[in-house]
């Protein structure tokens, strides 16, 4: 199946095999014609979506194959933990004095302590230079 795209005099041809099944290929052609949509635009959109998904998947799957990459990942995690701890400390410090013995305050305090211990533990283990 040839797909023609472009204006007269500036036409591009793309050879696309939609399916090995001629019935599916014909159905695709009929569906595009019925919807008044070019087959090239549908296939281009599909390819762009597929590429976008592949890029997002690649970003979601970090590479931990080398020691250096693992150390950089740990550094990023430590930085994130420190940012979270800072925000939680700010939250805790904004709790009014009359609620400082409350369950809300205690949970915030426990979270700050847990984050502090995690950060210290990773740092002392020599995970970060």
At 81-102, the pLDDT tens digits run 999 999 999 999 999 988 888 9
Judged by DSSP in three states, 20 sits in: coil
Beta-bridge mates of residue 12: 5
Over residues 5-28, the mean pLDDT reads 61
Window from 1-5, 15-19, 43-47, 79-83 with minimum mean pLDDT: 1-5
Alpha helices (H) along 1-102: 22-34, 39-60, 67-93
Distance separating alpha carbons of residues 83 and 89, to the nearest angstrom: 10
């Amino acid at each position: 199946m040839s797909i023609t795209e472009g204006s007269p005099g500036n036409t591009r041809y793309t050879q696309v095999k939609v399916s090995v099944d001629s019935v599916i290929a014909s159905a695709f052609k009929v569906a595009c014609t019925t919807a008044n949509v070019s087959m090239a635009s549908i296939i281009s959109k599909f390819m762009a979506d597929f590429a976008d998904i592949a890029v997002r998947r690649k970003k979601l799957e970090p590479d931990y194959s080398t020691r250096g990459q693992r150390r950089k990942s740990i550094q990023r995690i430590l930085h994130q933990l420190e940012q979270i701890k800072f925000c939680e400390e700010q939250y805790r410090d904004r709790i009014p004095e009359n609620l400082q013995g409350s369950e809300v305050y205690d949970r915030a305090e426990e979270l700050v302590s847990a984050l502090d211990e995690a950060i210290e533990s990773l740092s002392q283990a020599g995970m970060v230079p």
